[in-house]
Amino acid sequence: MDPFSTHLDKGILWLRWRRGVEITHPRAVAAARALAEFHGPATLPLLVHMHGITGITPEARVGMAAYRGFSRVALVGEDAVDEVMSGFSHRSPTDTRFFTSEAEAVAWLLTGSSVRQGLAPAPRD
């Protein structure tokens, strides 16, 4: 079974980590590559479900915090443990926030984005 699943829906990229998975650098790279298949050179918002992951390795934290392939990132978790694990995102150059509500995360991703305005996504640098 894959450690994650990805899809594109209404201009938002979705990444769902499987419960019990530790996010390692190779897994994070594989997830980024899978997401790139959906968005190509466009920069789109990303919603990440991280419910029940067991951890994020230091190498994965560094790589994910430095990646610039998304316009905004919403991390969705269940509790304070998930929020603590999302702490790597504070160093990210991409506007990133933690939510416990998927609906609130989606609303934030769409606020001011080209997806909401019906415009084409901005190209990546």
Q: Please give the CATH architecture assigned to the domain spanning 4-115.
A: 3-Layer(aba) Sandwich (3.40)
Tokens of 88: 């790597």
The tens digit of pLDDT for each residue in 56-98 reads: 898 998 888 777 788 999 999 998 776 777 766 666 778 889 8
What is the rounded CA–CA span in Å between residue 45 and residue 70?
A: 5
Contact partners, residue 53, CB within 8 Å, separation at least 6: 17, 19, 20, 21, 22, 23, 82, 85
Q: Considering the entire predicted model, what is its pTM?
A: 0.82
Return the percentage of the chain with pLDDT > 70, whole number: 84
CA angle 104, 73, 47 (to 5 degrees): 60
Q: At what angle do helices 58-66 and 25-39 cross, to 10 degrees?
A: 30
Encode burial over 10-42: b for 16+ CB neighbours within 10 A, e otherwise.
ebbbbbbbeeebebbbebbeebbebbeeebeeb
> Is 53 a residue whose pLDDT tops 70?
yes
The tens digit of pLDDT for each residue in 104-114 reads: 999 999 985 55
